[in-house]
Chain A
Amino acid sequence: MPHNTVAVVGAAETSKLGVIPDMSQLQLHADAALNAMADCGLKPRDIDGVATAGETPVQTAHYLGITPTWVDGTSVGGCSFMIHVRHAAAAIEAGLAKTILVTHGESGRSGIGRIPRPVPASSLNGQFEQPFGPMGPPSLFPIPVLRYMKTYGVTHEQIAMVSVVQREWAAKNPRATFRNPITVEDVLNSRMIAYPFRLLQCCLVTDGGGALILTSAERAKDFPTKPVYIIGTGESVETPMVSQMESFTSSRAFSVAGPTAFREAGITHEDVDHLMIYDAFAHLPLFGLEDLGFVPRGEAGRFIAERNTAPGGKLPLNTNGGGLSYMHSGMYGMYALQESVRQMRGTAPAQIPGARISVCHGVGGMFAASGTIIFSNQEP
């Protein structure tokens, strides 16, 4: 089903990003939602659909004074928001709702009003992974990396370039947390976290939020903002346990979600002007570039090291600086979507001149889930 009949008309992040100790997680959702409503001139009474993760749609709808006819509480990690956008587009096409609000807010750094996410000892993760010493994503997400490196002969220096290049993009973004340039040596000399990954190959931990408002492409023309059309979408899940991935050199969830979105959009890779690949850790852009078919297997490290994704390169990637330098609250997918929307509106700080198509690819959990959204600023 091609989704070229739905558009993003409202988009905003929280007023502040970074360290926000004076806002709870729920208020971060609301702050972003109020900014998105102001962006397109809507009030809560104009919203009839609510999707969110982290909080439940019950919490956000009640807190914002919305009476929805459609809700989605899909919560599969950081790509939940890509999947919300996909579901929202389908819901609008099916007539289940007219105007849908997708919210994210997370007090990742300050931990204000944060909902704990324990791993029960009786869960499969609790029985077959936790006893062996993992402590959150930095200890689990990089587990496939050594196998990927050995399979394709990828070097530590090539992977370090992911962080270096994204810092170059971050330098162009006034709201990015880290903007000072770094070198491959800086990356490879930073504190070891979980070999082979060091501090500068792991995402930030910050506070923030973001929200999107979607409606039909037909109605979108009546809004004050430039419509950003949804032309392709995809989603999938694989496994809650990184140890049970089918392959350590590819993500099955990526390989389903990405190509599904491309087929829906009816575009080729040459049509893509701008790309976001959720980078909680430095290997994710490598897996994303390969699983989405932008480069042949094993070539992504060299592709990035040769500056193809850097400012001035042929495939601008993670132009906000990404989770490695811009911000990362825990479920970063919303910020990748926000940057794609800015690029399509022509309002990004590191704007790609003339960009018409943006691919936004997300991950959830440790390669557990994935969602892909393809945006265009061209009228359908």
Chain B
Amino acid sequence: MPEPGRALPQPTPETQHFWDGTQAGELLLQRCDECRHVYFPPRPFCPKCVSRKVTVFRASGKAILDSYVIHHRKVPGFEPPYAIAVVKLAEGPRMMTNIVECPQTPEALQLDMPLEVVFEKQTDTITLPFFRPARG
């Protein structure tokens, strides 16, 4: 029997556009048409002013490393030690992710280092957004 892989998301009607976006190689956020607030995770209204007039837009994919742990225990789909990171997107919101194309060490993982999004297909319906050190 193959080893179980990592846990995968099951989209809901409110988040389907986000996961369609990652499949298409786009990181999609939402902006409130009324108060201009940019937010994550997805929902069909602004969590700041509760306007239902919100627009999905493609984020730059640029971020900085906000904080992380380097996990040393075995988890299905992961080879420890590996970093569980939170990045701060250029547009404002934070999101949890993994840092790829980078040693998983405190020396290599410096807070505030610039990152850029990359997409990794997991199944026919799910592609996850990861981040790597920025090349630009």
Contact = CB atoms under 8 A, between A and B. Distances in A.
A127 B84 contact: no
B68 interface: yes
A192 B6 contact: no
Interface string A213-247: 00000000000000000000000000001111000
Interface string B26-70: 000000000000001100000000000000000000000011111
A244 B67 contact: no
B78 A133 contact: yes
Interface stretch (A145-153, A160-168, A252-260): A145-153
A132 B11 contact: no
A interface, by DSSP: helix, strand, loop or mixed? mixed
Contact of B72 (A120, A140, A192, A248): A192
A128 B19 CA distance: 11
B9 A127 contact: yes
Interface stretch (A24-32, A101-109, A194-202, A349-357): A194-202
Contact of B7 (A130, A193, A195): A130
A146 B111 contact: yes
B86 A131 contact: no
A146 B96 contact: no
A196 B69 contact: yes
Q: Interface residues of B toward A: which range?
A: 35 or more
A80 to B, nearest CB: 25
A138 B70 CA distance: 11
A196 B106 CA distance: 9
Contact of B9 (A128, A133, A150, A194): A128
Interface residues of A, number: 37
Contacts of A242: 86
A131 B8 contact: yes
A122 B12 contact: yes
A124 interface: yes
Given A134-B71, A143-B67, A194-B73, 20 more contacts: A121-B7, A121-B9, A127-B11, A131-B6, A132-B98, A133-B78, A134-B84, A139-B71, A140-B84, A143-B69, A146-B69, A146-B111, A192-B81, A194-B72, A195-B72, A241-B96, A243-B86, A243-B95, A248-B66, A248-B86
